[in-house]
Amino acid sequence: MEYNWKDHTVLVAEDDEMSFRYIELVLSRKTNINIIWAINGQQAVEYCQLYSHIDLVLTDLQLPVFDGLEVIKRIRKFKPDLPIIVQTANTMNDEYEKCMKAGSDGYVTKPINLIDLFSRMDHLLNPAVHHAKGNQAVA
């Protein structure tokens, strides 16, 4: 499926440059989304405060300064509706539960399944489209 999110911006909170470059390459090639990079949790929170045009946050769980859970909690205080997806190498069930309890809108494990990530992102970036499709299917 093709996605064109050229009018959207994602903040990628990732301290590992190779991981960020992979996400950047895939997202820019496959979706045309605008990308902002935060190298630690504190920077991610600050960017969300400074830039009103961020439409979605994709955050790693293991970040310096503030971890991903703290990033979610802090962003939720001033932007409760900003979609946040967690990406992590941890695959334990309790990690998923912690992320959802903190206020995450999604959770993907590394290596990232791109179809799953893009689908989750599209539902969060275009909720009205998916809601309308769901209503048509029911009718």
pLDDT, residue 138, reads 41
The whole-number mean pLDDT for each consecutive block of 10 residues of the chain, a chain of 139 residues, reads: 90 96 94 97 98 97 96 97 92 82 93 93 86 49
d(CA 134, CA 41): 35
pLDDT, residue 103, reads 94
> Which H/E stretch holds residue 134?
helix 127-138
pLDDT, residue 137, reads 44
Using CA atoms, how far residue 90 sits from 38, 64, 111, in Å, is 20, 16, 10
Count of Cβ atoms closer than 10 Å to residue 48 Cβ: 22
Say if pTM beats, i.e. exceeds, 0.85: yes
pLDDT, residue 136, reads 47
pLDDT, residue 128, reads 74
pLDDT, residue 129, reads 72
pLDDT, residue 71, reads 98
The predicted-structure confidence for 100-111, as pLDDT tens digits, reads as follows 999 999 999 988
User: Which CATH fold would you assign to the domain 9-138?
Assistant: Rossmann fold (3.40.50)
